[in-house]
A and B are shown apart, each in its own frame.
Chain A
Amino acid sequence: MTLTRDRKNLMLLALAGFNLILLNYTLIRQMTLAFRNLELSALLMALAYFAGISLGYLLSDRVQPETIRRVLPVFLAGQLVLISVAPLLVLRLVEGLSELLGDTVGLNLAYVAVFVLVTLGSTSLYSIFLPRMIQGEENSTKRYYSVEILGSLIGLVSLPLLGQGGMVAFYAVYLASFLGIAWLVGLRPFALGALAILCLAFLLGFDRIDKSISTAFYREFYRGAGIEKVLYTRYSPYHKVEVLLNGRGERVLVLNAHRQFAPSSHPHYSYFVAEYPARLLRRPTVALLGCGSMSTVGRMGDYVESIAIVDLDRAVFETSRDFFPEYNRLSELKNWTFQSDDAKHFLASDTRSFGLIIDDIPPAKTRQIALTYTREFFELVKARLGKGGIFSLPSLTPLHSERQYGRRMLATLNSVFDKVYVINDGSSSYYFSTGQETTFDRETLRAAIDHPRKDTVEILMPEEVTDLVKGVTTISVNNMADLILE
């Protein structure tokens, strides 16, 4: 097939635009995950992505086509390495540098190193073409730029479809597009063939490589947890969902490299968050915000009228349903429904009132999650809480620790709800917020505990909570960033 030069240029730009979008979805996400999806890492990786684009523009006039042809295979190999070994690479880098230079300097240098790697090895390749072509022809800006934007639009629209097909299908399309670019810039057939073989090998081995790297990462990161292997991996637009197996044959749920559920939390955490308030209220209707393993559903299922499970990510729900049935008992219980929705949107748009609303959303490490710990969010919860209802919110930050996190959360609840009761179980605290009409005394609260720690947990009454949070700044959408960055 012979293509005119103009058509080649147009195709090249369309593929570059297409791959820029796909690269943002995959490489940047993988690198962010490697730093365990913290707000700062997400920002830094996004900056590296754009810095790469700047670099491409800067070099656009200076780089000869032969140089592009030479570095293309290096780019491909580099990107494949980054995509597949990112978590382990970052972990080793952080550990190695921290050992040499101390924790803070080591981590910061690791960020710098990864930033440079992503800047050099990702987007710069794709942004090199557009200015070269525009420069070459009068009045070509709108034509060439339009084609690149069209490529990006196609990439964007394809993302949900590609996501459905799994990461192998996703990478297959990305790599095919990369090979298309390599062909269009005139890579020799031999080199093109070698790259195609490399791509094929990567695609065939991706699942195995991904699991092996993850296993090695979690073994090192969660030393002492006895992680044996990764049983299952699934990528969704929001999470990398993984199920790990530990040495005791137990399954562990991991979302974006954060351990979300381990069986050891079922008897304590899930009891206090869900079963305890459910039994206290006697068969309430429940809204469970954030599903995780849904161990809470299994604990309270027999004591409630109905449970509306709400989570943004259907992939988490489906994974937990399939891998944690002994904890969530979804096949046994019939009084639950699942709704894939953002918790804020659900609370604001659903017209039902609930006797018990449970916030089982992970700690606020990113802006998106931190929004669910704000005064504005709690006001939405309050509006959906029926008369005599309870809002149950756990905190894994000990109330009496130096960190403000738990106390700020409590102060915010205290500013929105009439009364807040607290059960303090060492490293975990459980906050129960109610309206004016609900009153419990300490004895009733303790007597209602059906758990081995009944006599050891500390119970704080509303007036004690008010004293504890006096002078503590509440959390709103205007200041939640310092909560994330604490």
Chain B
Amino acid sequence: MSDGTRKASEAAKDRTIRTGRQGGAPTRRVVAGRGERWTSIAHVAAMGLLFALVQSGLFFQLQLRLTAAYPSFLTVTLAWLIGSLVGLWVGRRKPGSTGFLAWMAASLVGYYLVMVLLRRFPYTIELLPVMGLLIVMCGVQAGHFFGANRSLFDSSASLFFWENNGFLLGWIVGYAGYVRFGNAFHWASPALAGLLALGLLGPRLGRASTRLSSPRAEGSPA
């Protein structure tokens, strides 16, 4: 074994120990073509965008129509994280399946119910637990998304990376959108982002379970 190979081997071993990796090489989950890869990236980023727009909309609307006090921030963050946690453990692990649509719909319904409640019963702090539950419903989609799409790219880091970039973009768009369009932006943007994410997944709906989430069908080394 050459020096270089030995070093590489030791590094891989070390990495295995530290990260819990079971094999020396990363598990490959390569999607079909280059075009499809970019569509997948766009879809994942659009999901990040959607999550950011939902979160920023919730933060601001609660601040505006309920209270700017700490419980608003705590409720949105806590409920979203709980929702994500739940989302990781529920539903079928298949992107593009009805599960994806169902959880996206649930998320948007949760968001718009919060918006309606805030509009109909402004400054009613007693409704905070109810809104918390609805925000949990919004967050479930995020957890489900990560659970379902773990194998979408050749490395899970790519999934997190592109989703987070979308999220980052969502904060910028959320801010600029509010500056330009005011409150109306918080009503329109999550639905539009949802449609965008769905549109980018659209052609693969139905066959997505084989195209995207069944790595063996793609001839993956795993």
Contacts and interface: CB of A to CB of B under 8 A. Distances in A.
Interface string B60-92: 100110111110001001100110110011000
Interface residues of A, number: 62
Interface in B137-182: 143, 146-147, 150, 155-161, 164-165, 167-168, 171-172, 175, 178-179, 181-182
A150 interface: yes
Contacts of A153: 78, 81-82, 85
Contact of A132 (B27, B69, B143, B157): B157
A485 interface: yes
Nearest to A143: B88
A54 B179 contact: no
A478 B69 CA distance: 21
Contacts of B150: 134, 141
Contacts of B175: 43
A402 interface: no
B12 to A, nearest CB: 10
Given A53-B164, A61-B26, A135 B21 contact: yes
A467 interface: no
Contacts of B161: 54, 57-58, 60, 131
Nearest to A142: B88
A46 interface: yes
A312 interface: yes
B17 interface: yes
B89 to A, nearest CB: 6
A351 interface: no
A246 to B, nearest CB: 32
A371 interface: yes
A270 interface: no
A238 B72 CA distance: 13
B11 interface: yes
B38 to A, nearest CB: 17
A134 B156 contact: yes
B185 to A, nearest CB: 9
Given A65-B15, A134-B150, A312 B157 contact: no
A51 B171 CA distance: 11
A344 B123 contact: yes
A131 B155 contact: yes
Interface string B106-132: 000000000000000011110000000
Contacts of B147: 141-142, 145
Interface string A135-164: 111101110011001101100110110000
A65 B18 CA distance: 7
A150 B85 contact: yes
Nearest to A372: B68
Interface string A28-65: 00000000000000010011001101100110110011
A231 interface: no
Contacts of A348: 122-123
B9 interface: no
Nearest to B85: A149
A237 interface: yes
Given A146-B88, A156-B74, A371 B63 contact: yes
A333 interface: no
B14 interface: yes
B20 A130 contact: no
A129 to B, nearest CB: 8
Contacts of B98: none
B183 interface: yes
A342 B64 CA distance: 10
Contacts of A441: none
B16 interface: yes
A477 interface: yes
A274 B101 CA distance: 57
Contacts of B21: 132-133, 135-137
Contact of A57 (B14, B23, B68, B160): B160
B15 A64 contact: yes
B22 interface: yes
Contact of B167 (A50, A66, A133, A371): A50
21 contacts: A5-B17, A9-B20, A50-B164, A57-B158, A57-B161, A58-B157, A60-B160, A64-B11, A65-B14, A65-B18, A66-B14, A127-B164, A132-B21, A145-B147, A150-B85, A159-B74, A345-B66, A367-B63, A371-B63, A371-B64, A481-B182
Given A141-B156, A153-B82, A478-B182, 20 more contacts: A51-B168, A65-B14, A127-B160, A129-B19, A131-B157, A132-B157, A134-B150, A136-B20, A138-B222, A141-B88, A142-B147, A145-B143, A344-B123, A345-B67, A345-B123, A348-B122, A348-B123, A367-B60, A477-B182, A481-B179
Minimum-distance CB pairs A-B, first 4: A136-B21, A478-B182, A131-B157, A348-B123
